Amino acid sequence: MNSGWVQEFRIETQAFTGMFTQKIERLRAQLHQIHSKGVPAAAGGYDSDENSAEQSTKHLVFVEGDADVAAFKPTKYFDTTKEHLDQPHNRQRKRAVAAAADAAAEQAAELSSLSRKQVIAVARAERKSKKRADRELSGKYKELEERQERLLKLRRTAEHFESQRNLLSKGRRVKVADAEGGMPAKFKWTQQRSK
């Protein structure tokens, strides 16, 4: 077997997996709501020790002493309402919540002055834009899932090629584990005494 071809295949596989991993990371950063869904460990995901699948999304606030810990109020510190404390990625400030409530009240006043046909048109446009946004979001989630599956398939294929290449080498081998779950069978080569 030509070892140049094998080396070239290894380099290309590493480049592709790196590229896929970067794209997956970019998508995951865009879709920050994904925390419990990790990429499988075989796809280079977050199942390793340093990056757990349950990534922490909490703030760490340092205070001086026990008295400060007892007096700490997260709603005051983050200037937000209780409802928004669990959203570290998009936490609304109190003044933004008040401004949104004022804008909603103004919009309700405007809608009351419009005719019935205009109100129906506005509601239809809002439903249409919400449906479009939901469709885009679900498309992004689907793309992320497809990229993760593609990366997993690429890595499995590379492992199959690597195991086939290793089986062509010299030496006695013992089968350690059967092929399962799309992964190739595992072999262990016995050590040979060098002469």
Give the residue extent of every domain in the chain. Answer: 3-189
Query: Structure pTM?
Result: 0.52
Q: What is the pLDDT of residues 161-186, one digit of tens each?
A: 888 888 888 888 888 888 888 788 88
In total, the chain counts a number of residues equal to: 195
Residue the block writes with tokens 């209780």: 82
Q: What angle do CA 15, 20, 23 make, to 5 degrees?
A: 125
